[in-house]
Amino acid sequence: MQELTHYIDGAHVKGTSGRFADVYNPATGDVQAKVPLASPAEMNTAVEIAAKAQPAWAAVNPQRRARVMMKFVELLNRDMDKLAEALSKEHGKTMPDAAGDVQRGLEVVEYCIGAPQLLKGEYTDGAGPGIDIYSMRQALGVTAGITPFNFPAMIPMWMFAPAIACGNAFILKPSERDPSVPLMLAELMEEAGLPKGILQVVNGDKEAVDAILDHPVIQSVGFVGSTPIAEYIYGKGCSNGKRVQCFGGAKNHMIIMPDADLDQAADALVGAGYGAAGERCMAISVAVPVGDETADRLIEKLIPRIEALKVGPYTSGKDVDYGPVVTAAAKANIERLVQTGIDQGAKLVVDGRDFKLQGYEDGFFVGPHLFDHATKDMDIYTQEIFGPVLTTVRAKSYEEALAMAMDHEYGNGTAIYTRDGDAARDFANRINIGMVGINVPIPVPLAYHTFGGWKKSAFGDLNQHGPDSFKFYTRTKTVTARWPSGIKEGGEFNFKAMD
């Protein structure tokens, strides 16, 4: 059995707490490795090393820090297949989806190459008599990130790349369910020229999380995961005086207008609802067709598409549409919510409950499900399922559909499918949700814009990546300067008369 490590001070370090978590192969259900769970003492060691290394890194000029990011991009492209396979083996994603996970992180690293421009301050000449005022963006010091299982490459890079480009040191606490890729990323960063101690990976559970939140040296914490944990981390981190950004759960609605291209909408729903087995915070999990005729036609188009989905392990190649969910517990929770939907009166028009994959009976595979005639009071509508389950809630009008998305407690992403520019514009302006797609099913912004939801999907005033990330990982210092006059006249060659 493979025993994984922490990555501290440029080296793989065995855990000393005596506590471990099992790392599964989701396709087979077998335990393939064990990962150490850090104690507060182990976390403290990593923080002490980071604190010693950080000042020298912050003193490196931004252009040279950017060159490390340039080299890191090169290495990510070199090792793309290796990273994707390691990710698929622990998470269960298909290989193309795993490579996409790495690629979307890589794009944020590319953005961070612009650190010299992004870190420039402001200057006012002659703000007063002989007075100039200027501002500087300076690194926070030691920063930390707590990242989820569903994007073990992308989200760590969304956090550590801008933090490090700004001159900070970074402690990464990845998910204990799929920790291998974060360890590989730390190795690649140092191969790219990052000094030891600037990026460290400390594996762990709640004990490690609390050690981060309570440590006085750590200045900021980023988190992505469920809303209850996001609320806990945000509350505790802020009360300890840290800068905190937390991103929680989602229940993303796609509104399908009567004038929409229903073939296009159906294809979009299948990809956005079932890709990565639905384990995406930006997955579309609620379809809201406007009008019964639209709903009937949409369901008619969805059923054959969903029934044709190919579910299997990543080793089956590129023909597989999605793989297993991450753990047996995740599978059980999805199955529980499906049964709840049936019990509460929703119509299960595609039933994946009896799905079995020959040779992988012990894997964590879940067949695709499609509900119709769900209502807003049902658990399958109110709760985040995080699985291959699409729920259809019919709306009588555009206003009712809009209100559905606006009234839900989550506000991560949403989409509308329509040919009507006025409806699309109205939707984008009025909706109280952070990321909006117009005929785009998963509206994840590109790296040079920011990612972030509203309502109970996000806590904190700054989003991830894009310009907000450089604000989050720096402090602004403003200097007001006055210099005495008299020197500029030059030397005097005569005796000065006495006053």
**Contact yes or no for 147/91 (Cβ under 8 A):** no
407-to-225, 375, 397, 399, 401 alpha-carbon distances in Å: 22, 13, 15, 12, 10
| Residue found by looking up tokens 């009712």 in the block | 400
Q: Measuring CA to CA, which residue among 401, 44, 438, 358 is closest to residue 207?
A: 44
* Identity at 22, one-letter amino acid code: D
**CA atoms of 388 and 380, how far apart (whole Å):** 12
**Contact yes or no for 400/379 (Cβ under 8 A):** no
492 phi and psi angles, rounded to 5 deg: -120, 135
| Residue found by looking up tokens 């995740």 in the block | 330
**CA atoms of 217 and 422, how far apart (whole Å):** 51
* Identity at 123, one-letter amino acid code: Y
- From the candidates 112, 166, 246, 281, give the one annotated as an active-site residue: 281
**281 an active-site residue?**
yes
Angle CA 237–411–211, to nearest 5: 15
**CA atoms of 287 and 134, how far apart (whole Å):** 51
436-to-79, 173, 288, 413 alpha-carbon distances in Å: 33, 30, 15, 6
Q: Which residues contact 176 (CB under 8 A, 6 or more apart)?
A: 21, 23, 35, 37, 203, 204, 205
**Contact yes or no for 279/317 (Cβ under 8 A):** no
Pairing of strands 369-372, 347-350: antiparallel
| Residue found by looking up tokens 């005495």 in the block | 484
Q: Which two tokens stand for residue 339?
A: 């049964």
**Contact yes or no for 335/353 (Cβ under 8 A):** yes
> 234-253 burial, b if ≥16 CB within 10 A, otherwise e?
bebbbeeebbbbbbbbbbbb
Which residues are part of the catalytic machinery?
Answer: 281
